[in-house]
Structure 1
Amino acid sequence: MPMQSLSNCNNHGFLLFAIIFVGLANVAQSSSQIDVDEDLKHLLGRCHSQAEDFNDCMKQVFNDLRAYFTTGIPDHNIKPFDPHYSPYVELRRGDPHGLGSFSLILRNVSEFGWSRSEVTKFHADIEDQRIVYTQYFPEKSLEGQYEFKAKMLGSDLSRQGYWNLTLYDYSQTTSVRRVGKPGSLIKVHVEVDRIGGMELHIDNLLKGQPLNQLADGVINSMWQLGLPFVRPMINELVSTAFTDIFNESFRNFPLEKFLNQT
């Protein structure tokens, strides 16, 4: 991504983090790209990297832009975040030639609830080219197709079908870091902080509709007991999906157009 060289290191860091944050906000309200560009300049211009309230200012900018999460910016190849879409996410564990292993593939995943979310904390680490923010969702829902394969002590298990998940009173902390110069890869890591409630349905988990309904009931009544064990896998799945999406949408965003470089 082309970028004018800056003499001030702090300004350079501010530009880097602001562009990632702008990408997250997905600001696009009108059909005129000129109006959108002017809006970006106006909103970001009120936050100054060396001011004491910079982190609070950027947190407010993010929350001011929630209404635009549903639109994206087509002219800049930024896709909507509500619904948030991921075509393919994969998780693997174990040795397929050993005692046990499994693979989980999620396809065509749609995630809803971003327009009602709120950023409660924001921090920019200029030296490390990183932003970290905590986001609260009163309700977040996901749906898609799954493929699950496992091998345990010589026995094979294979399942596939539709799934949906709704989370209530949910919060997560996201770390976004650019590796190298502008235009280089963006890495994203997501940590689940809190889940106040959950409803999960998985088609074909067990054979037969009555057993499948029973499985849903057991999962939804006992998920809190299993959360410490599955939380690392949830973090990995979400982080992988977000890294792909952020790089596709934000890696080559023309940041020099929108930010004050003085």
Structure 2
Amino acid sequence: MEAMKFDSSRSWICLFTLMCWLSLGYSRYQEEGSDSVDFGQLFSKCVRFTPEFDSCVKDALNNAQDFFLTGVPELNLLPMDPWNLEDVHLNQTSHDLKFMNIRESSWRNSTIEEFKSSLSPDLPQYVQFTQFVPEYFIEGNFKAFGKQIEGFQEGKWNLTLYNMTRTLAISRHQLDPAKFKVKQSIHEVENMKVFVGDLPDATPSSENFDNLILNSFWKVTLPVFKPILEELLDVAYSRKYWELFGNLDWDKVFFSAPEMSS
């Protein structure tokens, strides 16, 4: 996936630190005595603008799961698994859907496999990483507008993807530099389970039959769900990340980072 890029007069450190925190849950914490490890210590050996920087950050993130689960109180960062996402309305040519009461859980046992950054103020800046997720879960309510499949106008849903690999990239929004833009692509999924319920005029037996068909032929239905899920999370993540990190004091995280040379 081509990384999203942007030009911005703001400091690169805001973008980079954001992605560090977002990625906390994509890791397995491997060191003993995690309670005594300081958040800043995990990144203290990562020197910006060196060949080892991306690899160092990847390793640090893969040892930071405890902070993802507990948050970082001194930075006013709350735990993020599970987390609730804002309502999202997707209005495209192929679908017109609104998702409400979205709840997502997955990142605590995940792993960052690749991490790539471009942080120089003289170049388009972005951060991109590839993540392996053993079990990804999302649920909520939905409403479908326009010409949709009869009987599926509204209801509840949940979706679980097993052994999923995806790539996420973050940049500043080209039309509104005060906002973040997230773009992701799901590459691999080994299995999928989906449930759709509380449908208008549906009976438990008819819902069970519909879900049996969806799950029995998941390799056929996955290409239908995949682009909608990617679009849903692109919108929801972009909003959530700015809400949580837009006003964060980044200097408290990278207080030991060397000054960028002019």
TM-score range relative to shorter protein: 0.7 to 0.9
Do the aligned partners of 2:191 and 2:218 also contact (CA within 8 Å) in 1? no
**Cα distance in 2 for residues equivalent to 1:90 and 1:60:** 36
Higher strand share: 1
1:69 aligns to 2:68 (yes or no) = yes
State the Cα deviation string for residues 140-172 of structure 1 (Å, max 9, x = none).
Answer: 1122222223326xx986632322211111111
1:105 aligns to 2:98 (yes or no) = yes
Shift of 1:232: 2.3
Cα RMSD, aligned residues only? 2.7
Do the aligned partners of 2:88 and 2:100 also contact (CA within 8 Å) in 1? yes
Do the aligned partners of 2:161 and 2:191 also contact (CA within 8 Å) in 1? yes
State the Cα deviation string for residues 155-190 of structure 1 (Å, max 9, x = none).
Answer: 98663232221111111110011358xx83211111
1:162 alignment counterpart: 156
> Could you tell me which amino acid in structure 2 is paired with residue 109 of structure 1?
I
TM-score by length of 1: 0.78
**Cα distance in 1 for residues equivalent to 2:217 and 2:74:** 46
What are the within-5 Å matches in structure 2 for residues 186-197 of structure 1? 186-197=180-191
**Cα distance in 2 for residues equivalent to 1:113 and 1:41:** 24
2:86 alignment counterpart: 87
**Cα distance in 1 for residues equivalent to 2:152 and 2:220:** 25
1:123 alignment counterpart: 116
Distance 1:107 1:79, change over 3 A: farther
What are the within-5 Å matches in structure 2 for residues 1-262 of structure 1? 13=12, 15-25=13-23, 39-73=38-72, 76-94=75-93, 102-126=95-119, 127-151=123-147, 159-179=153-173, 184-205=178-199, 207-259=202-254, 260-262=257-259
Do the aligned partners of 2:96 and 2:146 also contact (CA within 8 Å) in 1? yes
Distance 1:71 1:150, change over 3 A: farther
Structure 2 spans left out of the alignment, 5+ residues: 1-10, 26-34
**Cα distance in 2 for residues equivalent to 1:75 and 1:207:** 50
SS in 2 for 1:70: helix
Identity fraction in percent: 26
> Could you tell me which amino acid in structure 1 is paired with residue 108 of structure 2?
S
Do the aligned partners of 1:19 and 1:253 also contact (CA within 8 Å) in 2? no
Shift of 1:17: 4.1
Q: List structure 1 runs of 4+ shifted beyond 4 angstroms.
A: 155-158
SS in 1 for 2:62: helix
Distance 1:230 1:202, change over 3 A: closer
**Cα distance in 2 for residues equivalent to 1:178 and 1:90:** 21
SS in 1 for 2:243: helix
Shift of 1:43: 2.1
TM-score by length of 2: 0.78
Distance 1:151 1:22, change over 3 A: same
Structure 1 spans left out of the alignment, 5+ residues: 1-11, 28-35, 95-100
SS in 2 for 1:91: strand
**Cα distance in 2 for residues equivalent to 1:42 and 1:69:** 15
> Could you tell me which amino acid in structure 1 is paired with residue 130 of structure 2?
T
Answer with 81-90 or 71-80: which moved more. Answer: 71-80
